[in-house]
A and B are shown apart, each in its own frame.
Chain A
Amino acid sequence: MSEATHQNRSQSAAEVRNRAADWIVKRHDRGDWTDSDQVQLDSWLAETPAHKIAYLRVEAAWKRADRLGALRQPPAARNRIIPALKFVAVAAAGVVVCGVYLSMTWNTAPEKTYVTGVGGHEMLTLRDGSKIELNTSTTLRIAGNDTKRIVSLDKGEAYFQIVHDDAHPFVVLAGEHRITDLGTKFLVRRGGDNLRVALLEGQAQFDTEDGHGKQQATLNPGDVVVATATSLSITQAPSQTLTDELGWRRGLLVFRHATLAEAAAEFNRYNLKKIVVADSHIEKLNINGALRANDPRAFARSMKTFFDIRVEERPDEIVLSR
C-alpha cells in the first residue's frame, strides 16, 4: 500500500465521508457559500485523493436525491408565486431578461446555481450529455423546461459543448445577450458589462437586445464576438488563439506575445495572491509560454530569471519591479 494510504489511516473512511458530507451540505444547502469557503474546500480536497473521492461520492448521491423533486405535489399556487419572486430577484438585470424569465420559469424544474471560487474549475454534465466547464470565479444558473434548455452566465467564464436538439434549443443568457446553439462548442466570458463569445465548432446564433434595439448574427467557427455596454464587434480569430485560450481546461495559461501586464491580469483571475506590476517600464515586456494557472510564484520566478525583474512577495501579493 502506498505511503499516502498509510497516512490516511489516521482518518477512517467513515470520518472522511462525514467530513465530505459536511462540505456538501454547506455548499449546496446552507445558502451562504462564499469565495473563502471555496478556497478552504479546495485546499481540503487537495490534501489527499481520499478527500476528493469521498466528496465526489457523497455529492453524486446528494445530486441523485434531487430526482426526488419529481415527487413534489404541484400546489396550484406555487406556479404563480415562483415567477413573481424571480421577477423581483432579477429586476435589476433589465426588463428583457425578466421577460424571458417569466416565460421560462413557468412549469420549470427548480433552477440550480453553480459557483466556482478563485482558481476553481468544474465540469457539469447535463442529462442530455451536453457539458459545461466552469472556469475561475464563475456563477452559472441552470433551468430547464419542456421546450428549452436555458443557462444564465452571471459572471466568469464557461466552455460549452452542446449536444444539439432541434426540439430543445440550448440558450445561454448573459445580461442582455443571448447565444442559441445550433450544434456547438463555444466559450463565453463575462465580466461586468463586457461579454466575449468565441465559437470553436458548429454554429450558433447570437442575439443582443438593449434599450436601443435588437441585433442578431450567426456565428461560425473562429468567430469572436466582443460586446461592451456601448459596442458590439465580430472578428475572426485563428484557431490556435482559441485553443490557447482554452488552456485553462488543462490548468494552463498560454501566452503568445502577451504583455507582462496582460499576463499578470490573467494570473490574477485565478489566484487570491495577486501579481502587481509596480513599474511601468516592465509592463510591456513580451511574454510567451504555457504556465500553470494556479502558480503565480512560478510565474514570478521565471520573470526574475528571464528578465532580471525584482520580485517581492508579500502575504497577499507578489510585486514585480525593475
Chain B
Amino acid sequence: MTKTTDNNREGETLRLPGTAMTEPELDAWFVREVLPLEASLMQFLNRNWRDSSEVEDFCQDVYVKVYEAARQEPPKSVRPFVFAIARNLLINKVKRAQIVPIETAADLDALNIAVDEPGAERSAIARDELRAVQSALERLPRRCREAVTLRKIEGLSMREIAARMGISLKTVDAHLVEGSALLADILYSQTDATRKKA
C-alpha cells in the first residue's frame, strides 16, 4: 500500500533512528551539563561586554543557541561548545552594534578562552551541595527567606506558611516566586567574584 510508505516517510522526518536526544533528554542534559557553566559564562560575558545590564539577556541568548544546536546534535564536549557560541554571539553583537570598531571584533576572535581551565563550576560541584543551597538561602531577603525556609525545610503547605507568618496566601506566593527566581540566580550565576546584592 502506498499509504504505508507515505506515513512512514512522515516518521522519518522526525529522525526515527534516534541519534538526536528526545525533548526530556535534552532538558535533562541542559540542566546537568550547561547550567553549571553559568557562573563562568557570566564572568566571561562581563569581562567582554561593557554594558553589564545587558549581560543577563546575553546569557539567555547564548542558552537559546546552545539548546537549539544541541537539539540537532548534542556536543561531545560541552564547555568549549558553550563558549564558542558565546564568543560568536559576542563578535556578532560587537559588529552589529558598531560600538567598537571592527578591528576590535577581530581581536575578539583571537580571544584566549581557556576552555579547559577548571572553572568555578567544578568547585561548586565538589562543594557540599547542601551547604551551597543553604548559603544561597541565607542570601535571600528576610521575609522571602522565611517563607522558603518554612516551605523547603519545614515542609509546610502555602496555607500553613500564611498562617505561621501572619500574611496572605498571595504574599506567600509572591515570596516563593521571588525566592525560586533568586535562588536560580544565586546558585547558577554568581561566583564569589560576581556576587551582587540578593
Residues facing B in A2-51 (CB within 8 A) are 2, 4-5, 8-9, 12-14, 16-18, 20-22, 24-25, 29-31, 48-50
Establish whether residues B14 and A290, one from each chain, have CB atoms under 8 Å apart when the complex forms: yes
A252 to B111: give the CA distance in the assembly, Å.
Answer: 44
Which residue of B has the minimal Cβ distance to A13?
A: B60
Question: Cβ of B155 < 8 Å from any Cβ of A?
Answer: yes
Chain A residues closer than 8 Å to B151, beta-carbon distance:
29
Any chain B CB within 8 A of the CB of A212?
no
B98: Cβ under 8 A from any A Cβ: no
Answer yes or no: A128 CB below 8 A from chain B CBs. no
A211 partner residues in chain B, CB cutoff 8 A? none
Complex: chain B residue closest to A18, CB-CB: B181
B39 near A: Cβ within 8 Å? no
- Residues in A neighbouring B173, C-beta threshold 8 A: 25, 30
Number of contacting residues on A, CB 8 A? 61
What B residues does A31 contact at CB under 8 A? 157-158
Binding site for A on B (CB under 8 A): 1-4, 6-8, 10-11, 14-16, 18, 22-25, 27-28, 30-32, 35, 56-57, 59-61, 63-65, 67-68, 89, 92-93, 96, 129-130, 133-134, 136-137, 148-149, 151-155, 157-158, 173, 176-178, 180-181, 183-185, 187-188
Residues of B contacting A: mostly: helix
Partner of A25, one of B18, B180, B184, B187: B180
Contact check, A289 vs B152: say whether CB atoms are below 8 A apart: no
Which residues on A are within 8 Å of B, measured CB to CB? 1-2, 4-5, 8-9, 12-14, 16-18, 20-22, 24-25, 29-31, 48-50, 52-54, 56-58, 60-62, 64-72, 110, 121-123, 125, 133, 249-252, 254, 288-292, 298, 302, 306-307
Q: Does B176 contact A25, Cβ atoms closer than 8 Å? A: yes
Measured between alpha carbons, how far is A125 from B96 in the docked complex, in Å? Answer: 42
Q: Is the CB of A61 within 8 A of B176?
A: no
Which residue in chain B gives the minimum CB-CB distance to A249? B22
Could you tell me if B22 and A250 are in contact, using CB atoms closer than 8 angstroms? yes
Contact residues in B for A288 (Cβ distance below 8 Å): 1, 3-4, 7-8
Query: Least Cβ distance of B15 to chain A in Å?
Result: 8
Whether A53 and B177, one on each chain, are in contact in the complex, defined by CB atoms closer than 8 angstroms, is no
In whole angstroms, what is the CA distance A5 to B89 when docked?
11
